[in-house]
């Protein structure tokens, strides 16, 4: 495939560089031959992936993506095109080739595995819950019974509160309030249109840091979520390259440095060890 791609017409290279995998069999193939890659991140999550104006997205996930791309192949001059990857469209973006890979607080779930190949995980992050700082009714997760919980489109976090095992965890009755994404959840929480937002602690901490004193985390974890790199289903070569890069990122101290950079001012217990890879089917 590499020889065929190198011998292909310039227009083929151009088409492959514009979208996701294009004419190349794998993302590694595309990066080696074109020096370009399309990465999907969140654009509305402070501390993880926040895009302001014409700037590139900034945050832990965005920096993880930059490191992985720079270590995916032997090329050090790879140019990233950034695309927004909301929770509700992540699988579609990979399947239709709009993006090559997604680094966007993307948890591995059994429902997603048939649609996505996951590289990693690069961090294990507990799911916690955030409430308004002045709401004294909710002190622990069991206090969420009967409360208004945010359902962010495309996210499974709410299920761990309201569904029974094995899909859920707490099996608590609650009123689900729909929102477009987690920034919308936080806006509704601030406006007293719901009572709690529950998802991974790093997501919540980013929003809490953005508006100090307005919110508080319960610090009562529900589950541990495996944040991983989404790749088009079946791209085993890229998955294996991502896993090698993630191992290097932990080994050389980059992961710990990035976690301190973006979340060192919080009182969270940050991930501290390389997670066991899921494997590349």
Domains along the chain with CATH numbers: 27-124+227-264 (3.40.190.10), 126-224 (3.40.190.10)
3-state SS assignment for residue 204: helix
Number of H helices, E strands in the chain: 10, 11
Rounded average pLDDT over 212-234? 96
Q: Are 105 and 41 in contact (CB under 8 A)?
A: no
| 9 has a pLDDT exceeding 50 | no
Q: What is the DSSP letter of 197?
A: E
So what's the pLDDT on residue 15? Answer: 33
pLDDT category, 12, cuts 50, 70, 90? very low
pTM: 0.89
Residue 78 contacts residue 36 (beta carbons within 8 Å): yes
CB 99 within 8 A of CB 84: no
pLDDT tens by residue, 113-156: 999 999 999 999 999 999 999 999 999 999 999 999 999 999 99
pLDDT band at 267 (very low <50, low <70, confident <90, very high): confident
Question: How many angstroms separate the CA atoms of 229 and 120, rounded?
Answer: 6
Give the helix, strand, coil percentages of the chain, each rounded to 5.
35, 25, 40
Output the pLDDT for position 11. 29
The answer, yes or no, to whether residue 18 has pLDDT greater than 60, is no
Per-residue pLDDT band for 2 (boundaries 50, 70, 90) equals very low
Residues 86-121: tens digit of each pLDDT: 999 999 999 999 999 999 999 999 999 999 999 999
Note the Cα 177 to chain centre separation in Å.
22
Q: Is the pLDDT of residue 82 over 80?
A: yes
Reply yes or no on whether the pLDDT at 8 is more than 70: no
Q: Are 46 and 245 in contact (CB under 8 A)?
A: no
Q: What is the mean pLDDT of the chain?
A: 91
How confident is the model at residue 10, as a pLDDT? 30
Of the given ranges (7-21, 27-41, 127-141, 235-249), which has the lowest mean pLDDT? Answer: 7-21
pLDDT over threshold 80, residue 4? no
């Amino acid at each position: 495939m590499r020889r065929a791609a190198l011998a292909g017409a310039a227009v083929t290279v151009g088409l492959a560089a514009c979208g996701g995998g294009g004419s190349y069999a794998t993302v590694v193939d595309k990066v080696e031959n074109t020096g370009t890659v399309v990465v999907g991140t969140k654009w509305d999550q402070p501390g993880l992936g926040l895009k302001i104006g014409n700037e590139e997205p900034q945050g832990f996930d965005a920096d993880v993506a930059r490191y992985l791309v720079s270590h995916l192949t032997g090329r050090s001059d790879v140019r990233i095109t950034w695309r927004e990857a909301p929770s509700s469209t992540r699988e579609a973006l990979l399947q239709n080739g709009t993006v090559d890979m997604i680094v966007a607080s993307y948890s591995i779930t059994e429902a997603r595995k048939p649609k996505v190949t996951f590289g990693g995980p690069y961090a294990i992050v507990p799911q916690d819950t955030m409430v308004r700082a002045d709401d004294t009714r909710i002190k622990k997760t069991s206090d969420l019974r009967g409360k208004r919980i945010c359902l962010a489109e495309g996210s499974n976090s709410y299920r761990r509160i309201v569904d029974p095992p094995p899909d859920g965890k707490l099996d608590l009755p609650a009123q689900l309030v729909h929102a477009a994404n987690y920034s919308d959840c936080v806006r509704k929480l601030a406006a007293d249109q719901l009572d709690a937002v529950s998802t991974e602690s790093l997501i919540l901490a980013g929003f809490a840091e953005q508006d100090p004193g307005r919110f508080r985390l319960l610090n009562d974890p529900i589950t541990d979520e495996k944040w991983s790199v989404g790749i088009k289903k079946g791209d085993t070569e890229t998955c294996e390259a991502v896993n090698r890069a993630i191992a290097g990122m932990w080994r050389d101290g980059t992961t710990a440095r990035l976690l301190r950079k973006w979340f060192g001012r919080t009182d969270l217990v940050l991930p501290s060890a390389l997670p066991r890879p899921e494997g590349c089917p």
